[in-house]
Amino acid sequence: MQDHFEFRTARNRAGWGWGRGGLLLLVSAVVLMCQLQAAHAQQALSHGGKDAEKCLVMAMPEVLGPQNSYENYILAMSQAGLCVDPVWMPNDRARIALEKGEVDGIFARPAGFEAVVSVPVVAGTMRVGRVPEILVTSDPAITGLDDLKGQSIATWLGTKWTDDLLVGYANVVRVPGGPVMMQNMLKLGRVDAMLLDGYSLKVSGGVPTGFHAREIGEITVYSWLLARYSDYLPKLDAGTVIYRQNLQVGGGERF
């Protein structure tokens, strides 16, 4: 896996000097590069034998901020003795890639994920994080699902936790295009409400102008691997704990 670093330098008006800021940026980037190279080397040695070159390919969501960088994830896992190769994928594409064997695991999914994937999978025992369940409506008087009286509500097709919450509710619109399509349908008046997690709401543009968001619950998410890689779970769990601790130290959102 190639690591990319961008070095920004500025010329000093008095000459060609780097300046203190440029030098500190260069030193920081070189240190991080060395850490990553050492991490990969240590990971390869830790497996030994036929598994020496094995890195688990993990499907990752879009990051919320610098504290969630893939480099930090690689380093956290390396401290637990596990080699990972993170790749960015949309949620549903990650599920398909897992079923096809194009990735070895998924960074974060809630409990019950094994029921919506067609291949054997196993979950880590340590949580990756927690995300809120969000109900978005145009009516400020609606503060929970019990306040819905036949209004149409959009959910992301294939999302089990929303289906579980809406069992018995008749007017559910399951949207294949995910949060962005749900947002557009809401703004165009094609649905009256939408139910999604806080992460998806944030990366799809946040609460639309003129609408109201209510937190109605919370989801705990875990990392998942193809069952044939279950031997890696102890190291994955240990790395997840380190990663989450680093996020908290760095000011990460609620985990």
Domain boundaries, the chain: 1-41, 42-130+220-249, 132-219
Tens-digit pLDDT profile for residues 114-136 = 988 999 999 999 999 899 999 99
Q: Is the pLDDT of residue 216 over 60?
A: yes
* Mean pLDDT score, 226-231: 97
Q: Is the pLDDT of residue 17 over 50?
A: no
Buried b (16+ CB within 10 A) or exposed e, 1-32: eeeeeeeeeeeeeeeeeeeeebeebeeeeeeb
Q: pLDDT confidence of 2, banded at 50, 70, 90?
A: very low
Element (H, E) at 113: none
In CATH terms, the superfamily for domain 42-130+220-249 is: Periplasmic binding protein-like II (3.40.190.10)
d(CA 88, CA 254): 22
Q: Is the pLDDT of residue 80 over 90?
A: yes
Domains 42-130+220-249 and 132-219 share a fold: yes
> What is the predicted pLDDT for the residue at 212?
97
Tokens of 10: 């500025």
Q: Over pLDDT 90: what percentage of the chain? A: 57
d(CA 93, CA 224): 15
d(CA 116, CA 120): 11
CATH ID of 132-219, from 3.20.20.100, 3.40.50.300, 3.40.190.10, 3.40.50.1000:
3.40.190.10
